[in-house]
Amino acid sequence: MNKIILIGNLTRDPEITTTNSGVPVCTFTLAVSRRFTNSEGTRETDFINIVVWRALAETCHKYLRKGSKAAISGTLQIRNYETKEGQKRTAAEVVADEVEFVGAKVVGADETPSAPIQDDVEKVVELEPIDDGELPF
* Element containing residue 81 per DSSP (H, E): strand 69-82
Q: How high is the pLDDT of residue 116?
A: 41
Indicate the CATH number of 4-130 among 1.10.15.40, 3.90.950.20, 3.40.50.620, 2.40.50.140.
2.40.50.140
Sequence ranges of the domains in the chain: 4-130
| Position 113, amino acid | P
Q: How high is the pLDDT of residue 105?
A: 66
DSSP letter assigned to residue 67: T
Q: What is the rounded distance in angstroms from the CA atom of residue 135 to the CA atom of residue 137?
A: 6
**Residues counted in the chain:** 137
Mean pLDDT, 10 residues at a time, over the chain (137 residues)?
Answer: 97 97 98 93 96 97 96 97 96 97 66 44 53 56
